[in-house]
Amino acid sequence: MAVLRQLAVIFLFPGTTVLSSLNIAVDSDGGIFRSMINMIFWGIIAMFCTLPFVIR
């Protein structure tokens, strides 16, 4: 269970960092904003990881 909790912390890190820097609580619509930030961040990472395979 500790491994899954650590993966969740790593996966949610970008959104949590942005929320804490903007002083937005997760309880007040921060969850939606955190999800958006995480999707943008991990989407860009996934795009750059798959781009070399698509280009060749």
**Domain spans, the chain:** 2-55
Q: Which residue has the tokens 């491994």?
A: 3
pLDDT at 7: 94
pLDDT at 47: 96
Cβ within 8 Å of residue 11, ≥6 positions away: 38, 42
pLDDT in tens, 3-55: 999 999 999 999 999 999 999 887 877 888 999 999 999 999 999 999 999 99
DSSP 23: T
DSSP 56: -
Do 19 and 34 touch, CB atoms closer than 8 A?
Answer: yes
Helix (H) or strand (E) holding 14: helix 2-21
Phi, psi of 22 (to 5 degrees): -95, 0
pLDDT at 44: 97
pLDDT at 56: 81
pLDDT at 8: 92
pLDDT at 27: 80
